Amino acid sequence: MPDVFNIFMNAGVDERGLMSIRPPLSRRGDHLDLRAEMDILCAVSACPDDLSVCNNYKPKPVGVEIFKAA
């Protein structure tokens, strides 16, 4: 079953139950290591939109490194 996993997006829900997107809290060099325990299909995006607060109106590159299991 496909699922969305937002790692660095700063989203919240207010007291009325409405979702809001806020400026990012992540900083250059922040990272997350993940290990897949089965075959996966993964899509990665850095929210390349200069009209959105989700990336503080400044699209930035994202790096992905894939390591082969030992």
Question: Percent of the chain at pLDDT above 70?
Answer: 96
pLDDT confidence tier of residue 2, bands split at 50, 70 and 90: low
Q: In the chain, what are the domain boundaries?
A: 1-27+36-70
pLDDT for 48? 76
pLDDT for 18? 93
Q: Is the pLDDT of residue 3 over 80?
A: no
Chain mean pLDDT for the chain: 85
Question: CB-hemisphere CA count at 13 Å for 40?
Answer: 11
Q: How far apart are CA 61 and CA 41, in angstroms?
A: 21
Q: How far apart are CA 61 and CA 65, in angstroms?
A: 13
Q: Is the pLDDT of residue 70 over 90?
A: no
Average pLDDT over residues 1-22: 84
Ramachandran area for residue 8 (φ above 0: left; ψ -120 to 50: alpha; else beta)? alpha
